[in-house]
């Protein structure tokens, strides 16, 4: 077999209804990926904030206030003990925590950030692929509708 021989493209004929159904399916899948991506990005930002906060805290005891909600609606007085950097609890998931020192906690959170980056990149790539198909099919759909309207007017 000659490897320079072009492969014949097979044309597939689909109905307008099938095209509309595929466009709608793609739109729904893109919306799901957008929602998923927003969740991952939120987790990513929270982990980055945790790492930056712990890196910038003084190793000395601290007196201050702790915010109890994300909107900073309520703060309560808090004291951070002298040896806090050796007593950090890191959430392992499913209600399990491990007590670590500051450096190990940062290491674990940094690995989570790296894994999230990979996941986010993967979801973004999937979304781009679906969006490209969606835009292409939208263009074909618009052309088909215009063509149909032109035939009906003639």
Within a 13 Å sphere around the CA of 34, how many CA atoms are in the beta-carbon half?
Answer: 8
**Position 149 confidence tier, pLDDT thresholds 50, 70, 90:** confident
User: DSSP string spanning 80-99?
Assistant: E-TTGGG-EEEEEETTEEEE
Global pTM value: 0.78
The pLDDT value given to residue 62:
86
- Quickly count: other Cβ atoms within 10 Å of residue 30's Cβ: 17
Tokens of 133: 């198909």
DSSP code of residue 3: T
pLDDT tens for 69-125 read 888 899 999 998 889 999 999 999 999 999 999 999 999 999 999 999 999 999 999
Cα–Cα distance, 98 to 147 (Å, whole number): 65
76 Cβ contact list (under 8 Å, min separation 6): 65, 66, 68
pLDDT tens for 46-69 read 999 999 999 998 888 889 898 898
User: DSSP string spanning 7-29?
Assistant: PPPPP----HHHHHHHHHHHHHH
Domains observed in the chain: 16-56+88-153 (1.10.287.370)
User: Are 134 and 124 a contacting pair, CB within 8 Å?
Assistant: no
The pLDDT value given to residue 102:
96
Tokens of 104: 């190990």
Partnered with residue 97 across adjacent β-strands are 91
């Amino acid at each position: 077999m000659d490897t320079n021989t072009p492969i014949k493209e097979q044309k597939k004929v689909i109905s307008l209804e099938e095209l509309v159904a595929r466009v709608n399916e793609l739109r729904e899948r893109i919306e799901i990926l957008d929602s998923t991506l927003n969740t991952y990005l939120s987790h990513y930002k929270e982990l980055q904030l945790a790492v930056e906060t712990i890196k910038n805290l003084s190793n000395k005891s601290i007196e201050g206030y702790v915010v109890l909600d994300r909107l900073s609606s309520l703060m309560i007085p808090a004291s951070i003990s002298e040896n806090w950097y050796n007593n950090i609890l890191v959430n392992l998931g499913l209600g399990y925590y491990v007590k670590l020192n500051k450096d190990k906690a940062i290491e674990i959170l940094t690995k989570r950030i790296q894994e999230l980056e990979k996941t986010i990149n993967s979801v973004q790539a999937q979304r781009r692929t679906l969006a490209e198909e969606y835009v292409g099919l939208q263009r074909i759909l618009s052309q088909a509708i215009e063509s149909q309207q032109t035939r009906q007017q003639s």
